[in-house]
């Protein structure tokens, strides 16, 4: 989707109509090599060409690599989220430890004062000194004071014991959190390595194509999306889909529209570039609703609704592993950040296999 001179996305209503029209087009305008056929060779364009390999097989491999990288990205983002939570948890524990240590120091100071007072009394227990007192009035007053002193002593001992238990518990919790944090860091590093390897492989494949072949590759991707959208529309789904968004859903859609034309960048959450779940998370944040960072967590944690009940602002989760997410904008269309080398765009909601739909603003 191109952007006009003001930098804003073109009309989504017009784009939706175009998407639906394209979705009903059954015959592609150009023919491409089918799997197994000899692949195209460079014409007048630049690049290395595909040689004997079909362009369709290149498309399938590139798409597969990007899909796997997207799935691994979810694992990376989830590990990063957990690392952030664990760091906050450790900080909270550290603050609790400081507070408990200050309390422990105060209690020990009081216990020391009590011990020094007893030493000054010759080490004789308060009860024994009471019985040696000849004045009945002083004796009765002393009994009351002794009971209060005994209660205070027991209370102090109990608080010391409880504070020590709390300190031990905090130390154990901190140790476990550090272990989990180390595992999270290792998982994140492994996920990032896997992602970068797949992205590099896909980019190498595309870079070897001649310029005209890269355009034809984009055409193959669009043909496949149009075909899937046409099959989806043939089910009569448009007659059943809701058209009204909630106030928050409308704000989320408005934010997504304003991002049209911005580049997909792995791991990006705006404001100039996005990955798929970064876009949906920021759109709903702009609408005042915090949602999880990854498409898999969005699918797992947000309220689910039926596909035929979805309305603008709902999030469509794609593929069996929930590795891609888009925002439904009405009229059978969605907005999403597709993959590296592409821009945030409007596409048919049925252009990829739908796993399900979630509604961030359930009420």
Secondary structure (3-state) at 327: strand
66, burial (CB in 10 Å: exposed 0-12, middle 13-18, buried 19+)? buried
20 tagged catalytic: no
Q: How far apart are CA 198 and CA 68, in angstroms?
A: 7
Pick the catalytic residue: 188, 198, 324, 339?
324
Pick the catalytic residue: 226, 293, 336, 359?
336
Beta-carbon count within 10 A of 167 CB: 16
Strand partners, 336: 345
Q: How far apart are CA 169 and CA 172, in angstroms?
A: 5
Q: What are phi and psi of 183, to 5 degrees?
A: -65, -40
Q: How far apart are CA 290 and CA 281, in angstroms?
A: 7
Kindly provide the b/e burial profile for residues 317-353, where b requires at least 16 CB atoms within 10 angstroms of the residue's own CB: bbbebbbbbbbbbbbbbbbbbbbbeebbbbbbbbbbe
The structure tokens listed for 52 are 């004997």
Pick the catalytic residue: 93, 276, 279, 322?
276
276 tagged catalytic: yes
Q: How many residues does the chain have?
A: 363
Q: Which string of DSSP letters, residue by residue, matches 331-361?
A: TTEEEE--STT-B-EEEETTSS-EEEEE-SS
Nearest alpha-carbon partner for 321 in 352, 350, 296: 296
Catalytic residues: 276, 324, 336
């Amino acid at each position: 989707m191109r952007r006009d001179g003001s930098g804003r996305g073109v009309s989504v209503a017009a784009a939706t109509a175009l998407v639906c029209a394209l979705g009903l087009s059954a015959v592609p305008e150009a023919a491409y090599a089918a799997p197994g056929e000899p692949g195209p060779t460079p014409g007048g364009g630049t690049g290395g060409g595909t040689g004997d390999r079909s362009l369709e097989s290149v498309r399938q491999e590139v798409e597969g690599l990007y899909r796997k990288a997207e799935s691994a990205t979810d694992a990376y983002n989830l590990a990063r989220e957990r690392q952030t939570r664990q760091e906050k948890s450790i900080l909270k524990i550290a603050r609790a430890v400081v507070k408990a240590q200050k309390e422990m120091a105060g209690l020990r100071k009081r216990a020391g004062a009590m011990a020094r007072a007893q030493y000054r009394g010759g080490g004789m227990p308060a009860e024994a000194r009471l019985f040696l007192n000849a004045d009945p009035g002083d004796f009765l007053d002393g009994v009351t004071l002794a009971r209060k002193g005994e209660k205070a002593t027991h209370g102090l001992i109990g608080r010391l014991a409880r504070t020590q238990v709390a300190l031990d518990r905090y130390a154990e919790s901190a140790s476990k959190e550090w272990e989990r944090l180390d595992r999270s860091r290792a998982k994140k590093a492994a996920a990032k390595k896997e992602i970068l390897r797949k992205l590099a492989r896909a980019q190498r494949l595309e870079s070897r194509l001649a310029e005209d072949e890269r355009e034809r590759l984009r055409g193959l991707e669009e043909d496949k999306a149009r075909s899937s959208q046409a099959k989806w529309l043939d089910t009569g789904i448009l007659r059943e889909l809701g058209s009204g968004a909630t106030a928050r859903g409308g704000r989320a859609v408005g934010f997504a529209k304003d991002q049209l034309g911005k580049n997909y960048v792995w791991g990006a959450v705006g404001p100039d570039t996005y990955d798929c779940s970064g876009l949906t998370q920021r759109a709903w944040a702009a609408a005042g609703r915090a949602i999880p960072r990854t498409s898999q967590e969005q699918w797992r944690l947000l309220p689910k609704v039926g596909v035929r009940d979805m309305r603008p602002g709902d999030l469509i989760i794609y593929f069996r592993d929930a590795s891609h997410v888009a925002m439904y904008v009405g009229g059978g269309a969605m907005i999403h950040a597709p993959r590296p080398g592409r821009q945030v765009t409007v596409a048919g909601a049925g252009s990829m296999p739908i796993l399900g739909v979630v509604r961030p603003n359930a009420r």
